[in-house]
Each structure stands twice: as C-alpha cells, then as structure tokens.
A and B are shown apart, each in its own frame.
Chain A
C-alpha cells in the first residue's frame, strides 16, 4: 500500500484527535484539511519505513500550533486555566460535567499529550517524538492533565478550593 492510501486510512483517527483537541466539528475538520494538504505537500520529506502515523500527527500538531497562533485564539500554550476560578458562578455549576468540555479547558500542551496517550494509545516515546518534546515532559504533562481533568470531572481538589474562595 502506498503512502497516499495509508494517509486516507488515517483520516478517521486524525478527525477523532482533532475533534477532542479543538472541540467543535467544523473547526476540527478544518484542522484536518489543513493537515492533509500540508502532509501531501510535504510527503517527499517523509522517510519511508518510519512511523507514518507519528509523522502525520506531528504535521497536525505543527499546523494546529500555527493556526492557534495565527487566529490568536485564547489558547496560550502555558495557560494554567485561571478562568475557571475567575468565572466561578455558584454551587454545582462549578463542575464541568461533560468530558468534552473539560478536555478543551485543559492547557493545549497537556491536552495534546493526554489525547495521544489515551485516544491514539501511543507509547510515551511515540508521543515524545510526535510532539518533539523530551519524554520527561510527556510524563509531567500527562500527569498534570489527568489531575486537572479529574478535578474538573469529580469536583475534587480544584472545586473544593473554589468553594472556599466563594
């Protein structure tokens, strides 16, 4: 099977990752489209015999970072999501009950790691290579992403703290 066919087969996985990464369907498919166009133009740089999926997800990661920068979407990479504390309406509304909404509230860099590990079930080494970061960074982002997600979903440490603030 040639690379073009393999790329076609990877589209559903790209869409799944993109959907979780950006939240809404249209934006996610825009991201996938940009990624595929770029991958197609750069296919000569792909080294045959290496991991095409990791290569493709690297392309998507770069496209995503560029899109976020270009559109100045409020999604700074180091954002530690202070908005959750600031908005703090009342009572149970603090808890984000929907997982998809909780995911997009994670800082972008942590979200990417969590999704590659969980949805794509990549090894930590593959995630490190795909995102171009050291494996130690993968582990710390994964750990922080999970703890934040858990706090949001289960209303444990973070929500408890918010209640005190209120």
Chain B
C-alpha cells in the first residue's frame, strides 16, 4: 500500500471507478477491515437494486406529449410562415398597384411614418425568431464585436440594450437588408423561451422623433418609433401588447438615458 485508503477510494470502489491497480489495493485494504467491507458491499448491492428498480422505465413507450415537447416551434413556425406568405402576397399587390400608378417614394418625413418599417420588422421576426440552431448570426458572447460590426455597417453608433431588468437576455444579432440600406436585428429571449427582436434602421431622410406606435401583423405585435437618425421596431409573437410595451419602454430608456 502506497497511499492510505480514504472515503473517496471506497466510494469509487463501490462504483467500480478505480483504476485496476488502485482497485486491487483497496480490495486488499478491505480484506483487513471487515466492517468497511460490509458497508461497501451494501452500497454495491443498493446500487444494483436501484438500477434494477428503474430499469423498466427505459423500456416504457415514451408518451406523445414528451415527444411533442421537443417541437413546439414547429406549430408556431407554420403559423408564422403562413402569415408571412399572406403578407408577401399583399405587398406584391400593393407594389403592383404602386408601379401601375407610376408611384415613386416621396421624400421627407411625412410619407414614411414607420408603418413600412413595422411590417418589415414583423416579417424579420417571423422568419428568424422560430430558428432553433441559427436564430442569430453573431451570438451574445461576442456582443462587442456584434455591436461594432453593425454600427459600422449602419454608419451610426448602435447599442444593444440590456433588458435583463424586464426578463430578457440578448441572444445575439444579425445584419438584414432594409429599404434604406443595412438593418441591425437583435434578438432577446426570456427564461421561458419567449423571444423578442429589435429592428434598427437608419433614417436617412428624416430627423424626427415620434411617440411609440403599435401595429399587429398576423400574430406579431410591433411597437415602433423614430429617434432622430434611427428607427426602431420591437416585435414579438410570444407576448401580449402590455408586456411588449414594457419592454419597448425599457429599450427607449436605455437608449435615451
């Protein structure tokens, strides 16, 4: 015996987790300590009994509700995609009519109240929020890189608001194409798995500030507003208007301290 046998050795012995030489050494020690030998033998018997008691559970058919628990997003995704397709068709109709009428985007702040942005944001939310593996392009563990990258592409200093106080943590973000150029898209998630997205675009033409406006596109709720150079839209399909409003307030306060 080189090392004295301690309780850790005895537990590992009972679990058959010791290397061969140490196992032999502990066995020899136990031969000289009958009380401990009996105790460890009891542990082994109990472990055996425990395994055999619950062995049967492994062979039970898995209830359907447990299988379904792994695919809650699927039902939601179908609903969102349906909404998106319907919306796309509507957009196509509008665009066709506008082209027919020789429509051109009117300059100035009056033409764009942000409603178009809200629709864009709702679509982006519908497309990306049900994603399981790739909800974001750059994850929150690289937040500094994410914010620097998006700020550079939008040509404006951005910040990803911290929403932990209202129960949401940053998952990450991505770059999207928008009407006026690149758009920054941040995604947040709550403990319960509900998601919200923040869509941020530059407002090249306008320099206005607006109050919160609310829109509902399919099952996606959106609060949107403009704050000088930037336009914001906060979307969720998972939470109600009041809860979303609270988050929108938190975002606004963070960005305008």
Contact = CB atoms under 8 A, between A and B. Distances in A.
Interface stretch (A6-14, A76-84, A87-95, A158-166): A6-14
A146 B50 contact: no
B67 to A, nearest CB: 7
Interface stretch (B53-61, B85-93, B97-105): B53-61
Contacts of B59: 12
B58 A16 contact: yes
A149 to B, nearest CB: 6
A36 B70 contact: yes
B69 A40 contact: yes
A20 interface: yes
A15 interface: yes
Contacts of B189: 41
Interface string A1-27: 001100110011101100110000000
B49 A36 contact: no
A75 interface: no
Nearest to A30: B65
For A13, A41, A142, which residue has the most chain B Cβ atoms within 10 angstroms? A41
A54 interface: no
A99 interface: yes
Nearest to B195: A41
Interface in A86-124: 99-100, 103, 114-115, 117-119, 121, 123-124
B49 A99 contact: yes
A150 interface: yes
B31 interface: no
Interface residues of B, number: 41
Contacts of A7: 70
A164 B101 CA distance: 98
Contacts of A139: 7-8, 11
B245 interface: no
Given A12-B60, A146-B43, A40 B51 contact: no
A154 B49 CA distance: 13
Given A12-B58, A38-B193, A150-B42, A142 B11 contact: yes
Given A8-B67, A15-B60, A43 B11 contact: no
Interface string A120-159: 0101100000000000000100110010011001100000
Nearest to B43: A146
B72 interface: yes
A32 interface: yes
A124 B17 contact: yes
Interface residues of A, number: 42
A153 B47 CA distance: 12
B237 interface: no
Interface in B128-144: 132-136, 139
Contact of A100 (B53, B60, B134, B171): B53
Interface in B158-190: 171, 189
Contacts of A41: 189, 192-193
A121 to B, nearest CB: 8
Nearest to A103: B50
Interface string B190-226: 0011000000000000000000000000000000000
Contacts of A3: 133
Nearest to A12: B58
B66 interface: yes
A124 B192 CA distance: 30
Given A3-B133, A12-B58, A29-B65, 8 more contacts: A16-B54, A33-B66, A33-B69, A40-B71, A40-B132, A44-B133, A44-B135, A154-B42
What 8 A-B pairs have minimum CB-CB distances, sorted nearest first? A41-B193, A36-B69, A16-B57, A12-B58, A118-B47, A33-B69, A37-B69, A146-B43
